[in-house]
Amino acid sequence: MDFGLWENYYKKILDDFGFEREDDEKTAQVLDDLLFEQGCLTLEDLYEKVDFSTKFIIFGAGPSLKDHIKKIKTEYDLFDYVLVAADGATTALTEEKIVPDIIATDLDGKIDDILYANACGANLVIHGHGNNLEAILKYTPFFDNVLGTTQAQAHGNLYNFGGFTDGDRAMFLAVALGATELILAGMDFGNVVTKYSRPNIAEDTAKADKIKTKKLEYAELFTKWIDDNEDVKIINLKS
Ligand SMILES: Nc1ncnc2c1ncn2[C@@H]1O[C@H](COP(=O)(O)OP(=O)(O)OP(=O)(O)O)[C@@H](O)[C@H]1O
Ligand SMILES: Nc1nc2c(c(=O)[nH]1)N=C(CO)CN2
Ligand SMILES: [Mg+2]
% of the chain exceeding 90 in pLDDT: 97
152-156: average pLDDT = 98
Stated pTM of the model: 0.98
Average of pLDDT values for 175-192?
98
Burial class (CB in 10 A: 0-12, 13-18, 19+), 24: buried
pLDDT in the model for residue 228: 98
Is the separation of the CB atoms in 181 and 53 below 8 Å?
Answer: no
**Chain segment 32-57, per-residue pLDDT in tens:** 999 999 999 999 999 999 999 999 99
Report the pLDDT value the prediction gives residue 188, as an integer from 0 to 100: 98
Residue 147 and residue 75: Cα distance in Å, rounded? 31
Q: Which of 105, 166, 187, 239 most suits a substitution to test ligand 1, by most atoms within 8 Å of the C-beta?
A: 166
pLDDT attached to residue 109: 83
Closest CA to 160 of 23, 25, 18: 25
Average pLDDT over residues 92-107: 98
* Res 92: pLDDT: 98
Which of 127, 197, 198, when mutated, tests ligand 1's pocket best, judged by the most ligand atoms within 8 Å of its CB?
197
pLDDT tops 90 at residue 239: no
pLDDT in tens, 46-85: 999 999 999 999 999 999 999 999 999 999 999 999 999 9
Is 183 in contact with 170 (CB distance < 8 Å)? no
CA neighbor of 24 nearest in space, from 39, 15, 14: 14
pLDDT at 58: 98
Residue 143 CB–ligand 2 contact under 6 Å = no
With a 6 A CB cut-off, is 19 part of the ligand 2 pocket? Answer: yes
Taking only the tens place, the pLDDT of each residue in 120-143 is 999 999 999 999 999 999 999 999
Distance 61 CA to ligand 3 centre (A): 10
Please compute, for residue 130, the number of CA atoms within 13 A of its CA located in the half-sphere on the CB side.
Answer: 14
Ligand 2 site, residue 165, Cβ cutoff 6 A: yes
